[in-house]
Amino acid sequence: MVTMQDVAERAGVTKQTVSNVVTGRVAVRPATEARVRAAIAELGYVPNLVARSLATGSSRTVGLFVPTVSAPFYADLVEEVEDALEERGHRLLLCTTRRDGERARRHLAALASRSVDALLIAGDQGLTGHLPLLADARFPVVLCAWEAALPDGFPVVTVDYEHGGHLAGRHLRALGHERALVLASPAHTVRTAGFRRAFREDGVPLPDDAVRTAAEPAFAGGLAAALDALRAHPEATALFATHDVLAVAAVEAARALGRTVPGDLSVVAHDDAPAGVLSGQTLTSVVLPKREMARQAVGLALGAASGSAAPPDPLPRPLLPALVPGDSTAAPRRT
Amino acid sequence: MVTMQDVAERAGVTKQTVSNVVTGRVAVRPATEARVRAAIAELGYVPNLVARSLATGSSRTVGLFVPTVSAPFYADLVEEVEDALEERGHRLLLCTTRRDGERARRHLAALASRSVDALLIAGDQGLTGHLPLLADARFPVVLCAWEAALPDGFPVVTVDYEHGGHLAGRHLRALGHERALVLASPAHTVRTAGFRRAFREDGVPLPDDAVRTAAEPAFAGGLAAALDALRAHPEATALFATHDVLAVAAVEAARALGRTVPGDLSVVAHDDAPAGVLSGQTLTSVVLPKREMARQAVGLALGAASGSAAPPDPLPRPLLPALVPGDSTAAPRRT
DNA sequence: CTGAAAGCGCTTACAG
DNA sequence: CTGAAAGCGCTTACAG
C-alpha cells in the first residue's frame, strides 16, 4: 500500500504538504502542488480513509435503517439515499431491521463503533420503544418516512400524508364518485383523514363504517377486510387503499365478487404498486417524493454531522405526495 | 468518548491488558479480567473499530455490489448477505451498480479507501469489462449469482442453472405436457438448455423455434415475444419463462389471446415472482437457494480475507435450485 | 507557503 | 500473565 509518506518522498516535500494538496485545506504553491499531483498519479496513491477517520472523526459513511428492502417503496428509497450520499462523497452502511428492536440495537452498536457520520431511519415506527438509546448516540439521527408517533428531539423529513389522502379523495370526487370505501392499515390514520376531508368538503361525508382497518398490512388480512367492506356497502363505487398490498387485495376482492376494476369499482392505491399487479395495467396511486425525501434526509444528516448548518432551524417544509393516474380509476357507472 | 485507556485506569491495569481481554487473544488472570470487564461495563466502553482497523487492516465491513435492490431476487439476496455477515460480526456497505460500469468503478475506489475486508459481486455480468481493475484490488472479490461469462481468478458461488431449467422441464413433463415454449432472456441460455434436455430425454425434443428470446428482460419486450410465440405455436400447452418479469408477460399474453392459466397454458417461472402478480395466485417457479448462496459467498470472502481458509481449493459444489409448485401449472387439457 | 511534532485509539511483538 | 514501546496513516495547530 502506497502511503502519503511515499508520495512526499517522491515529490520531495513532507507529508503535511501532500495532505494539504489532497484536502485542499491549505493553499500550496502551484509548482509544488503540480509535483505532488504528479507523484500521486505515478504512485497510484489513494488516501486511506480509515486513518483519516481516526484523525478527524468522520468516516464518510452513513448508516440507514429500513424495515426491509423487499418492499418496493424501501427499495427505491435505499437507492435514492445511496445516490444522494454518493453526490457528497459518502457511502451507505445498510441495516435492515425487519422491525425487530433487538436487531436494531445490535446494528446501532455496530454503527457506533464504526464511527458513522450519521444514521437515517426510514419508516420504522415500531422502533420507538428503542429510541431512548438513540438520544445519546454520538452521531446525528434523522427520521424519514415517519407517518405517526414522531418522537421529538430528532430532525425529521416530513411528508404531508394528509394531503396524499386528500388528493386521492379529490381524484375520486372529480370523477364523480359519491360512495367510497377506505381499506386502511392501522398506522395510516392520517392518510385516511385526508381522504375523508375531501369528501366532507364536498358535502358528501363518508359514514364511519366506510373505513375498514385491516389487521396487518398483509394480503390475507386485506382481502378479508375488503370482502367485508364491499359486501356491507354494495353501493360503493370506489375504494382507497392506504397501502400497495391492500390495493392488490382490494382488486382481488372485487374480482371475487364479480366486479370489474375500474368498471364496477375504482381503486386508488398509496405508495408504489408492484409492477404487473394488474398484469399490464397500472394502479392509480398516491406516490411519495422519494428522491426529495432522500435528499432532504441526507442534507439534514450531513449538515448536523458537520455541525455547520444551523440546527434544523429553518425546518424544511413538508414534502407533498402526488397522485399518479393509472388504469384502476374511472367515472362511476351510471345507474 | 471513553477509550481503552480510561478503562485501564479504572481497572488499575494498562491498556494492553484491556486489549487482551477485549480481543481474547491472550489469556488474562480471571481476577484481572473481572476487574476489566467491570470497568468496561461501568464506563460503557465500546471499542473504536476505526482505530482497530488502522492497526489490523480489517474493518469488519464488506462491500456488496448488486445491479439494483428493486428486483425481488436481489432484495432477498441483500438481506441474506446482511444476515450471514452479521453472524460473523461484519456489516454491509451496499453499492448498487445499476449495471453502470462507471458507477461500479467509483464504488470500487470508495471501498478500497475504506479498507473493506472483501467485496461480493452479485449477478452483474455486464461489469466484466471493468473486471481487470478487480484483479488487483487489495481485498478478495467473490462472485455470486453469476450465470454466464465467468471470469477466472475469482472465487465464485456456483449455482447449477442447467439443473433449474431441467427441473422446470421435468415438472411439465410429469404433468403430461408435450409441446412447450420457452420465453428466454438472452443471458439465460443455460437455463434454456436444461429445459430442452428434459424434453429431449423423454423423446419429445423441442423444435428450435419453440425458444423465443426477448430482447430485454422488460415487460414490453417479453409481452411481444410471448404473443409471437403463442400465435406461432397454438398447440403448445406450456411455457417456461426464464425470468420472473417474463413470466408475468407470458401470463398477460395468454390472457390477451383468450387463454386461461393454467387451464389452457401452464406457466413455469424462474427466480421469484413478485407477490400478487396473479392477484392471489402464485406462479410455479424455479427458485434459487439464496440463503445458501449468501452464506457460501460470505464464507469464501471472509475466509480469503483472513488468509486462513486454504485458497478455494475444496471448491464448494454447485448449489441446486428447487421447483416450487404454484397455481400456474396443471395437466394439459385433453383434446 | 512549508516543515517538525503530537495525537487519533487501537494492536502487536517483546521483555520481564 | 502483565507492562513499556513502536507503529498503523492520516490531520491539525504551531512555528518558521
Burial (0-12, 13-18, 19+ Cβ within 10 Å), A310: exposed
> What does the alpha-carbon distance between residue B9 and residue B36 come to, in Å, rounded to a whole number?
10
pLDDT number for residue B312? 53
Q: What is the mean pLDDT of residues A190-204?
A: 96
What is the average pLDDT value for chain B, to the nearest integer? 89
Chain D bases having any atom below 7 Å from a protein CB: 1-5, 7-13
Q: What is the mean pLDDT of residues B123-131?
A: 73
Contact by Cβ (8 Å): A88, B98? no
The tens digit of pLDDT for each residue in A214-263 reads: 886 577 889 999 999 999 999 999 999 998 888 888 988 998 899 999 99
The string of DSSP letters for A140-194 reads -EEEES--S---TTS-EE-B-HHHHHHHHHHHHHHHT---EEEEE-TT-HHHHHH
Contact by Cβ (8 Å): B213, B270? no
- Banded model confidence at residue A59, pLDDT cuts 50, 70, 90: very high
> Which of A24-33, A201-210, A232-241, B194-203 has the lowest average pLDDT?
A24-33
pLDDT number for residue A136? 79
Residue A255: closest C-alpha in chain B: B279
Q: Which of A88, A91, A100, A282 to mutate to test the interface with B (most CBs of B within 10 A)?
A: A91
Q: Is B89 left (phi over 0), alpha (psi -120 to 50) or beta?
A: left
pLDDT number for residue B308? 59
Q: Does B202 have pLDDT greater than 90?
A: yes
Location of C-alpha cell 466484466? B128
The tens digit of pLDDT for each residue in B264-319 reads: 999 999 986 555 555 567 889 999 999 999 999 999 999 999 875 555 555 668 89
Residues whose CB falls within 7 A of nucleic chain D? A 1, 3-5, 15-16, 19-20, 22-23, 25, 45, 47-48, 51-52, 54-56; B 13-14, 16-17, 20, 26-29, 31-33, 51, 54-55
Q: Does B1 have pLDDT greater than 90?
A: no
pLDDT number for residue B252? 87
pLDDT number for residue B217? 57
- Choose between A83 and A123: higher pLDDT: A83
Q: Give long-range contacts, CB 8 A cutoff, 24+ apart: B7-12.
A: B7/B36, B7/B39, B7/B40, B7/B43, B7/B45, B8/B39, B10/B39, B10/B42, B10/B43, B11/B35, B11/B36, B11/B38, B11/B39
What share of chain A in percent tops pLDDT 70? 93
pLDDT number for residue A274? 57
Q: What is the DSSP letter of B262?
A: T
* Dihedral over alpha carbons B130, B131, B136, B141 (to 10 degrees): 130
**Quick one: cell of A50?**
480509515
Q: What is the mean pLDDT of residues B150-176?
A: 92
pLDDT number for residue B115? 94
Picking from B79, B252, B278, the nearest residue to A70 by CB comes out as: B79
> Which of A204-213, A236-245, A305-314 has the lowest average pLDDT?
A305-314
> What does the alpha-carbon distance between residue B116 and residue A290 come to, in Å, rounded to a whole number?
29
**Quick one: cell of B332?**
394439459
Say how far B98 CA is from D9 C1', in Å: 33
What share of chain B in percent tops pLDDT 90? 60
The tens digit of pLDDT for each residue in B84-94 reads: 999 999 999 99
pLDDT number for residue A217? 57
Burial (0-12, 13-18, 19+ Cβ within 10 Å), A15: middle
What share of chain A in percent tops pLDDT 90? 61
CB of A34 lies under 7 Å from some atom of strand C = no
The tens digit of pLDDT for each residue in A159-196 reads: 999 999 999 999 999 999 999 999 998 889 999 999 99
Contact by Cβ (8 Å): A175, A332? yes
**Quick one: cell of A297?**
434526509
